[in-house]
């Protein structure tokens, strides 16, 4: 490995990258644009929860209790009812999300230190929405209620699924308070996941394309007859995109933190270090794809075919915990899975090296493995 040769290769790569104005834009604008688009558009937060209120207590306290919900900005009352039988028609037509019942003597019980029960019926058709609604209820109860209310309150929660579960089938759930992302902002969750998506997309694509292009145009011939060694060539082809990915990571982080106000509780240095590990895996994948693609089009297609499963099994959107055992094991070799978890932990939990070393180690091992495989294939491919 000669330093001068690698530096020469990197310089050349950047000269080419920045020569083309379109390329300059491609490097940094799409990640930013996608991030902003995602930040605003993809939002699974629970807003506008339609509530039916059955208040048998009719005291100032019980009204205040309801106002805590409506005042949160997430809930609004569509109807006050007097009779439980009215509930069904609302749910059947999908006009309400939640029914809340306050028993007679609700306030009195609470004040005297007895347990008061509120009953909630949630439309369980959309399971993720219903759990989000319940989480919001929980949040409101935890955060806005007076202590004596909290202490003496008992929740009876019924999830009501229109088709499969018979009416009012009872599963009483004890909901935990959701830590780390207390307002359960989906933005915090998705944007931190976007890091892996954007960075891998752009670095895998650029690495693979730049190698395949050299082969397609024939410029690689001139490199093959030169004294460059395969490892130097791989380094010269991946390092520029590691650098690009690094700059992208910094830009994306800054936008997430300062524009979208995603809480950043961890160490920025650790974020950069894990990014470096991740970028080694993505550029190695790029090199590998270049060895199985003859044309830039094939490379593009291969990148897409790689990205889809890598994304699906990364925990970006679908929780890995609910995947079958076998799949869960497979996700361990998916670098995206580890990087997403690392980024989320650093941002939302403030996890440090001692919490994440295992993930970092996985990522490192995957990176070394991929790099070895790709370089070997690449060297063989040069002949």
Please give the residue ranges that form the binding site for another protein (CB under 8 A). 2, 4-5, 7-9, 11-12, 15-16, 19-20, 217-228, 383
- The minimum distance between CB 380 and another protein, in angstroms, equals 13
Q: Which helix (H) or strand (E) holds 206?
A: helix 186-217
Residue nearer to another protein on the CB measure, 226 or 295:
226
Residue nearer to another protein on the CB measure, 166 or 227:
227
Residue nearer to another protein on the CB measure, 14 or 258:
14
Residue nearer to another protein on the CB measure, 220 or 255:
220
- The minimum distance between CB 372 and another protein, in angstroms, equals 22
- The minimum distance between CB 382 and another protein, in angstroms, equals 9
Residue nearer to another protein on the CB measure, 129 or 229:
229
Residue nearer to another protein on the CB measure, 13 or 277:
13
User: Measuring CA to CA, which residue among 43, 314, 86, 353 is closest to residue 190?
Assistant: 43
Long-range pairs for 331-337: beta carbons < 8 A, 24 or more residues apart: 332/362, 333/366, 334/310, 335/200, 335/278, 335/281, 335/282, 335/310, 335/363, 335/366, 335/367, 335/370, 336/196, 336/197, 336/200, 336/310, 336/311, 337/313
Q: Are the beta carbons of 254 and 339 closer than 8 angstroms?
A: no
Residue nearer to another protein on the CB measure, 7 or 29:
7
Pairing of strands 116-123, 153-160: parallel
CA distance 241 to 55: 61
Question: 161 — alpha (psi -120 to 50), left (phi > 0) or beta?
Answer: beta
Q: What are phi and psi of 80, to 5 degrees?
A: -100, 125
- The minimum distance between CB 16 and another protein, in angstroms, equals 5
- The minimum distance between CB 207 and another protein, in angstroms, equals 17
- The minimum distance between CB 383 and another protein, in angstroms, equals 6
Q: Which strands sit side by side in the sheet containing 75-80, from one edge to the other? A: 75-80, 49-55, 98-102, 116-123, 153-160
- The minimum distance between CB 290 and another protein, in angstroms, equals 17
**37-58 b/e (C-beta count within 10 Å ≥ 16 → b):** ebbeeeeeebeebbbbbbbebe
């Amino acid at each position: 490995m000669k330093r001068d040769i690698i530096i020469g290769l990197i310089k050349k790569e950047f000269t080419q990258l920045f020569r083309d104005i379109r390329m300059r834009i491609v490097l940094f604008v799409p990640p930013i644009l996608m991030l902003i688009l995602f930040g605003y558009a993809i939002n699974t937060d629970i807003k506008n929860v339609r509530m039916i209120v059955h208040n048998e207590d009719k005291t100032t306290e019980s009204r205040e209790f309801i106002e805590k919900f409506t005042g949160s900005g997430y809930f609004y009352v569509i109807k006050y009812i007097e009779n439980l039988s009215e509930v069904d028609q609302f749910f059947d037509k999908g006009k309400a999300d939640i029914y809340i019942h306050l028993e007679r003597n609700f306030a009195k019980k609470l004040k005297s230190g007895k347990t008061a029960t509120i009953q909630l019926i949630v439309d369980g058709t959309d399971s993720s929405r219903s759990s989000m609604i319940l989480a919001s209820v929980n949040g409101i109860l935890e955060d806005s209620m007076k202590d004596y209310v909290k202490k003496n309150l008992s929740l009876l929660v019924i999830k009501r699924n229109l088709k499969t579960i018979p009416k009012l089938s009872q599963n009483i759930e004890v909901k935990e308070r959701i830590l780390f992302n207390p307002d359960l902002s989906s933005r915090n969750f998705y944007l931190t996941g976007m890091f892996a998506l954007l960075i891998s997309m752009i670095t895998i694509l650029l690495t693979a394309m730049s190698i395949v292009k050299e082969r397609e145009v024939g410029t690689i011939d001139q490199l093959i007859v030169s004294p460059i060694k395969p490892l130097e060539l791989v380094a010269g082809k991946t390092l520029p995109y590691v650098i690009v990915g690094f700059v992208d990571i910094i830009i994306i982080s800054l936008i997430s933190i300062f524009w979208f106000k995603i809480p950043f509780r961890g160490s920025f240095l650790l974020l950069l270090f894990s990014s470096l590990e991740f970028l080694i895996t993505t550029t190695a994948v790029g090199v590998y794809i270049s060895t199985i693609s003859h044309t830039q089009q094939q490379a593009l297609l291969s990148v897409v075919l790689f990205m889809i499963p890598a994304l699906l099994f990364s925990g970006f959107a679908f929780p890995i915990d609910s995947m079958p055992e076998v799949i869960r094991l497979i996700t361990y070799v998916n670098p995206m899975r580890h990087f997403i978890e690392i980024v989320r932990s650093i941002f939302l939990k403030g996890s440090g090296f001692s919490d994440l070393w295992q993930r970092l180690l996985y990522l490192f091992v995957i990176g070394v493995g991929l790099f070895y495989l790709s370089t070997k294939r690449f060297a063989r491919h040069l002949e």
